[in-house]
Amino acid sequence: MTLLQRRNLRRLGWLRAAAPIALVLAAVGCDAAARQADVYRVQQGIWKAIRDVRTARLDTAGADSTKLLGLRQQFIDAIEQVSPSAWTPGEGGARTQEQRRLLAIVSQAEIQAATLAMEAGRPDLALERCRALGRAAEGDTSVTRRMDILVSGSLKQMGRYDESIDVMKAMMVRYPPRAPDSTGVEDFVLGLPNVIIDLRRTLGDQEGARRELADAERYYNGLILAGGLDPRLEAQVRSHLVQTYLEQNKTAAANAGLDSLETLAIAYPELKQLTPEVRYRRAKLQASQGGDPAQAIAALERVAFDFPMSPAAVPALLDAALLKERSNRLPEALEAYQAILSRYPARRDYAATALLRQGMVEERLGNWAASKRTLESVPGLYPRTAAAAQAPITIAEHYARVGDRQGIQAALRRAVDAYTEMIEADSLAPSVVQLRWNKFRALAGLEEADAAFGVIESMVANHPTSPLTGQALLEGIKIADRKGLTSVSRGFLARFVQDFPNSPKADEARRRLRSVSK
C-alpha cells in the first residue's frame, strides 16, 4: 500500500467516525428547529387573528356573534397548529424553556378566544377549553391562574353563580396573593372576596353576602396571621380587612385596622399613598358612628380636596353628599352631586349614583320637572348600573307619594319598557335578576298578572337559587290567590318549597301546599 493510499484511508476513517456525530447533531438541530417553527406558526396565526379582531372592532357595523365566533375560531386554529404534547412535560416532570414559552403563547391565544366566545354569548365554548388547558398547564401557575379566571367568568356568564364562586374560592386557596410590582397594582386574587360579595348582593342574596363577608374577614386575617408578607402586600390586605370590618359594622376592629395601616404608612415611605385611603375610611367611620355629621362631612371633603387624584376622592365626595342629603342640607347636597358629575364623569358607578341622588334631591326640593328629567336620563347615560335599575321605580314611587294614579300607571309602564330593554341588552349579566325583580314589581303594580307570572317563570328558569326569585314566588302566590288562580298558586308554592327548602317561609309554604293539594 502506497503512502498516498494509506493517507486516503486514514481520511476515510475520520469521515466514518465523524459521520454519525454529524448526523446526530443535524437531527438534534432539525428537531429543535422544527419545534421553534411550530411556535412561530402559532404566533403567526395569533397575529393574524388579533389583526382581524382589531379590524372588526374598528368596523362601524360592529361584530355580531357569528363574526365573533369566526374570529374566535382563528385563535383556535392557531393554537391547534401544535399538538398539546408539545408543552407536556417529559418524564422528569419539568417543562423545558421552549415548552414554557409555547404554553405562554397558547394561553394568551386561549384568553383571546375565550373573551370572544363570552362576548358572543357562548361562554360554554370557553369553559371546556379553559378547563382543559388549565389541567394541561398544571404546575405553571401563571397559566393556570388565567385559565381559572376564565373558567369562573364563563360559569358566571352561564348563570352558574355558585360554581363560579366555588372556583374563585378555590383560587384563593390555591394562589397566595403576590406583592404588587412597581405599578402598585394589587394581585386580582386579593380582590376575589369582594367580587364574591358583590355577586351575592347583585343576585339579591343579602344573607349569602353576609356569610361571604365573614369568610372574607377570615381570609384576610389568615393572610396577616400567616406572616411574612411584603409591606406593600400587607398594606393591601389590611385595607381590604378594614373595608370588610366596615361593611360588617365592626367599628372597633375597623379602627384598630386603620391604626395598623397608619403604622405601616409611617414605617415605609413607599406606602405614603395609603394616607388618603386611611383618612377617607376614618372619616367614613366617624360618619357611621353618629355624632355631628358636619364634622364627618368636613373630614370627607377634606380628603377629596387634599388628594383630588386619589381613588378615595370620589367616594369621599359621594359620602359627604349623602350625609348632607340625610342632614336635610338639600341645596348643598345637590351642588355636591353636580360637582361629582362634572369633575369625575369617568367614574361611572359613582357618577350614576350621583345622578340618581341628584334626581331624588330635586324631587325633595319640589322641582319635579327637573327631577323627572334627571331620573329618566339615568338608564340611558349609565346602563348596567344599580342606579339605572333603581331610577324607573323611583319615578313611580314619586307618583305613589303624591297619589297621582294616572302618573303611577304611566311611570310603571315606562319602567316595564325600560327594564325589558335593559334585560334584552345583556340578558346574561348577574344584575339581570335585579332588573327582572323590578320589572315584576312594576307589572304587579300595573296589575298585569299574566305578564308578572311570565317574569317569575323567567326568574325561576334563569336564577333558580336567587333570594329575589324566592321573593317573587311569594309575591306571585299572593297575586294568584287574590285572582283565585289556584293552580298557579299551587305551582308557585311547589316551586318555592323545592327551590328554597331552608327559607324561614318554607314551613308555612309546605303547610299551604299540603292544604291546597288536598
Partner 1 sequence: MRPWQCMMDALRSFTWRSYVPLLPILIAQLLYLVLALNLGQAWGMATAGAIGRWAVGPSAINYPASLEILPLTSSYVETWTFLIGGAFALPLLAAAVRMTLPGGEMAAEERSARLRVAYPATFLALGAAFAVTLGWQDIVVRFLPRTLASFLGQPFQVSLVTWTISVLVGYAIITAVVYVPIAALDRRAGLGGTLRTGLQLGLRYFWKTYPLFLLLSLPALALQLVAQLGGSLLLVRTRPENAAYVLFAYAVLSSVATYFAWNMATRIHHAAGGNRS
State the Cα–Cα distance between residues 416 and 442, nearest whole angstrom.
Answer: 6
User: Could you tell me the maximum CA-CA distance found in the chain, to the nearest angstrom?
Assistant: 126
CB of 34 vs partner 1, minimal distance in Å: 4
Could you say which residues in the range 41-80 bind partner 1, by CB under 8 A?
41, 43-44, 47
- Residue 225 found at the interface with partner 1 (CB under 8 A): no
| Rounded Cα–Cα distance for residues 349 and 382 (Å) | 8
Q: Is 448 left (phi over 0), alpha (psi -120 to 50) or beta?
A: beta
- Amino acid type, 453: F
Residues 276-305 binding partner 1 (CB under 8 A) are none
Q: Nearer Cβ to partner 1, position 11 or 41?
A: 41
Query: Which residue do the cell numbers 419545534 mark?
Result: 35
Of 43 and 248, nearer to partner 1 (C-beta) is 43
Q: How long, in residues, is the chain?
A: 518
Quote the CA–CA distance of 274 and 506 in Å, as a whole number: 47
Which segment (26-34, 181-189, 366-374, 440-448) binds partner 1 by CB under 8 A? 26-34
Q: 129, 113 in Cβ contact below 8 A?
A: yes
**Nearest distance from C-beta of residue 112 to partner 1, angstroms:** 16
Calpha distance 95→109 (Å, rounded): 19
Query: Would you state the cell numbers that stand for residue 179, as one nine-digit string?
Result: 406583592
- Determine if 30 is a binding residue for partner 1 (CB under 8 A): yes
> Shortest approach of partner 1 to residue 23 CB, angstroms?
15
Task: List the x/- string, 235-274, binding to partner 1 by CB under 8 A.
Answer: ----------------------------------------
CA neighbor of 413 nearest in space, from 425, 421, 402? 421
Nearest CB to partner 1, comparing residues 40 and 305: 40
Contact region with partner 1 (CB under 8 A), list: 25-33, 86-94, 330-338, 465-473: 25-33
Comparison of 36 and 342: residue with beta carbon closer to partner 1 = 36
Query: What is d(CA 392, CA 387) in angstroms, rounded to the nearest whole number?
Result: 9
C-alpha cell of 237? Answer: 390586605
258: left (phi over 0), alpha (psi -120 to 50) or beta: alpha
Which range binds partner 1 by CB under 8 A, 40-48, 178-186, 280-288, 443-451?
40-48
Interface with partner 1 (CB under 8 A), residue from 33, 94, 170, 425 = 33
Q: Decide whether 47 or 305 has the Cβ nearer to partner 1.
A: 47
Place of cell 291546597: 516
395: buried, middle or exposed (CB in 10 Å: 19+, 13-18, 0-12)?
buried
Q: Which of residues 115-144 bind partner 1 (CB under 8 A)?
A: none
Interface residue with partner 1 among 13, 40, 404, 486 (CB under 8 A) is 40
C-beta closer to partner 1: residue 71 or 287: 71
Residue whose C-alpha cell is 503512502: 3
State which residue, 12 or 27, has the beta carbon closest to partner 1: 27
Q: How far is CA 424 from CA 280, 298, 428, 439, in A?
A: 38, 43, 9, 12
46: burial class by Cβ within 10 Å (0-12, 13-18, 19+)?
buried
Contact pick of 3, 4, 21, 34 for partner 1 (by CB under 8 A) = 34
Among 12, 18, 28, 29, binds partner 1 (CB under 8 A): 29
- Per CB under 8 A, the segment of 29-37, 143-151, 161-169, 226-234 that binds partner 1 is 29-37
Q: Do 194 and 172 form a contact (C-beta atoms < 8 A)?
A: no
CA distance 468 to 448: 19
CB of 21 to partner 1, least distance (A): 18
Q: How many residues bind partner 1 (CB under 8 A)?
A: 12
Cβ atoms of 282 and 258 within 8 Å: the answer is: yes
**Residue 8 or residue 36: which is nearer to partner 1 going by CB?**
36
| Residue 75: CB minimum distance to partner 1, A | 15
User: How many other C-beta atoms are found inside a 10 Å radius of the C-beta of residue 223?
Assistant: 22
| 262, 285 Cβ separation under 8 angstroms | no
How far apart are CB 134 and partner 1 at their closest, in Å? 25
Q: Which stretch binds partner 1 (CB under 8 A): 27-35, 210-218, 287-295, 491-499?
A: 27-35
CB nearer to partner 1: pick between 98 and 376? 98
Minimum CB separation from partner 1 for residue 115, in Å?
21
Question: CA 478 to CA 464: how far, in whole Å?
Answer: 19
Q: Is 24 in the site for partner 1 (CB under 8 A)?
A: no
Output the smallest distance, CB 33 to partner 1, in A.
4
Q: What are the residues binding partner 1 (CB under 8 A)? A: 29-30, 33-34, 36-37, 39-41, 43-44, 47
